Amino acid sequence: MILAKNSVERYTFNMNSKICVIGSSNIDQIAYTQNIPSDGETLFGDSFQMGFGGKGANQAVMAGLLGADVYMITCLGDDVYKEMTITNYQANNVNTDHVQLVRGSSGVAPIWVDSTGQNRIIVIPGANNEIDAQKAISSMTEIGNISVLVGQCEIPMEVNHQVFEFAKGNSITTIFNPAPARKLEKDFLEHVTWLIPNENEFELISSMEPNDENFLRFKKEIPCNLIVTLGEKGAVLVGDDKTHHFSAPTVDAVDTTGAGDSFIGTFAYELSESNSPEECIKKAIQKASQSVTKKGTQSSYS
């Protein structure tokens, strides 16, 4: 139910609000190295870690760790990673009753992290490309009383189109994280309540440099609320005629992998708790900043 509408929309939900995340599940294969190798170069790395990832999975786990009633809609293959992934969801307070299963490989993501904590990621979607939109909509109907739906670009966009249209038609607040970055159609954005790109994603989807003037310009072109995350510089809430910057605490970054997903998962949880957008952003920055001080993706969440 809409309480008020100024430059951003504000919502209130029933107690025990449900969050549904539709998106990717991957196994992260993380190599830590002093320097990223150049073309044709072979280097010795410092250490290797395998963990659970996928933007959808990360966002669901973050919300689950905060105590949300989280339901994950994702697709897994029939490989060795299937049971591991389901067990991990359940251990992190994420409902797996609506996980779809197909033959073939689950998603994987080889990741390189250098000595400054910056990362390079290659996502191989596997079963994530096989997720079924109609099954997802049936799952959402079965779950019932969903307050917030969260999605990303690691599953086919035609699936997101159908699911977000259903959600908006059923008064579900929707959060879309356009990552990996790609152009978004205007009719899709009609079904998005909160669009949350980072700086690089903003530049790609808007064809503008990431600065306040262009944030405001882009906000006038889209039919939804806009937040842009700025890494160590925090985040900006973009209104109709002004921007509101939120700073991030200074921390010693070890690994930035998954920090943006920590932000999204926390924002979704705080929004479902009927907190103001400003308060949601502050809490999300706090959790994202904490996550970069530890190695790994979901293993860095708390």
Tens-digit pLDDT profile for residues 197-220: 999 999 999 999 999 999 999 999
Q: Tell whether 213 is covered by a domain.
A: yes
Q: In the structure encoding, which two tokens stand for residue 132, read together?
A: 């079924």
CA distance 62 to 30: 19
The pLDDT assigned to 2 comes to 30
Angle at 6 between CA 183 and CA 167, to 5 degrees: 50
Task: Specify the CATH number for the domain of residue 207.
Answer: 3.40.1190.20
pLDDT of residue 235: 98
Mean pLDDT of 156-184: 96
Enumerate the H helices of 243-276 as residue ranges. 259-272
Q: When comparing pLDDT for 157 and 9, which is higher?
A: 157
| Residue 10 in this model has a pLDDT that exceeds 70 | no
d(CA 220, CA 31): 41
Is the per-residue pLDDT at 1 higher than 80?
A: no
In this structure, is residue 255 part of a structural domain?
yes
* Nearest-angstrom CA–CA distance, 58 and 264: 9
Beta bridge partners of 47: 32
Is 78 annotated as catalytic? no
pLDDT at position 302 over 90: no
Look at residue 125 and tell me if it is in a domain: no
Residue 20 included in any domain: yes
Domain of residue 181, residue span: 2-24+55-101+131-300
pLDDT score of 16: 59
Any idea how long the chain is?
302
Residue 126 lies in a domain: no
* Residue 109 domain-assigned (yes or no): no
User: Can you give the pLDDT at residue 5?
Assistant: 37
Residue 87 in domain = yes
- Residue (of 44, 37, 62) closest to 272 by Cα position: 62
Spell out a b/e string for 134-164, using b for 16 or more CB atoms within 10 Å of the CB, else e: eebbebbeebeebbbbbbbbbbebebbebbb
pLDDT tens sequence across 11-47: 444 445 899 999 999 998 889 999 999 999 999 999 9
Total number of domains in the chain = 1
Is residue 151 one of the residues assigned to a domain? yes
Alpha carbons 46 and 29: distance in angstroms, whole number: 14
What is the average per-residue pLDDT within 71-99? 96
